[in-house]
Amino acid sequence: MKIKLLAIGKTDNKNLIKLIDEYQNRLKHYIKFELEIIPDIKNVKNLSEIQQKEKEGELILSKLQNTDQLVLLDDKGKHFTSIEFSNYLQKKMNAGLKQLVLVIGGPYGFSDAVYQKSTGKISLSKMTFSHQMIRLFIVEQLYRGFTILKNEPYHHE
């Protein structure tokens, strides 16, 4: 299985980029992983929130292959402990899934079309974080999940 993380908009924060890169590199020892950044929509000032979400949604959906499973990172999604999340990843691998696509929405979240196409929603907290911070949190949790599956000493209860 491959995991693709789709995210909207580039971040200029060098410290954040460095940390994301570090976990991304660690993760690559366990699974094929790709972070794909969808460029920011141009002239967003002329768009309503709904129009921006719809345009971002079209770009997200255009990136999907037929066999992909689309799972959204969403503060209203399902909550997992890190161990439960590692089991979730194991189940996806056991199911013979070719590619799991995790998506981080833009500043206003997802369009209805993206919600309709998705097969699940994962929340990393009841709180809402910026779409940039979530990139770091999910790569760290993915890394943590794989170290749990491999019984490696990173996660402590």
Ligand X SMILES: C[S@@+](CC[C@H](N)C(=O)[O-])C[C@H]1O[C@@H](n2cnc3c(N)ncnc32)[C@H](O)[C@@H]1O
Q: Which residues are annotated as a binding site for S-adenosyl-L-methionine?
A: 73, 105, 124-129
SS (H, E, C) the chain: CEEEEEEECCCCCHHHHHHHHHHHHHHCCCCEEEEEEECCCCCHHHCCHHHHHHHHHHHHHHCCCCCCEEEEEEEEEEECCHHHHHHHHHHHHHCCCCEEEEEECECCECCHHHHHHCCEEEECCCCCCCCCHHHHHHHHHHHHHHHHHCCCCCCCC
Instruction: State in angstroms the smallest separation of the CB of 69 from ligand X.
Output: 16
142 binds ligand X (CB under 6 A): no
Residue located via tokens 């366990």: 30
For residues 90 and 148, what is the distance between their CA atoms, to the nearest angstrom? Answer: 10
| Minimum CB distance to ligand X smaller for 76 or for 98 | 76
Q: What crossing angle do the helices spanning 14-27 and 133-149 adopt, rounded to 10°?
A: 20
Query: Which residue lies nearer to ligand X by CB, 22 or 120?
Result: 120
Which of 74, 85, 114, 118 touches ligand X by CB under 6 A?
Answer: 74
Return the residue of 127, 151, 153, 156 that touches ligand X, per CB under 6 A.
Answer: 127
Does the protein bind ligand X through residue 145 (CB under 6 A)?
A: no
Count of residues binding ligand X (CB under 6 A)? 18
Positions in 31-60 near ligand X (CB under 6 A): none
Determine if 114 is a binding residue for ligand X (CB under 6 A). no
Which one of 30, 129, 154, 155 is in contact with ligand X (CB under 6 A)? 129
Footprint of ligand X on this chain (CB under 6 A)? 73-75, 104-105, 107-110, 123-125, 127-131, 134
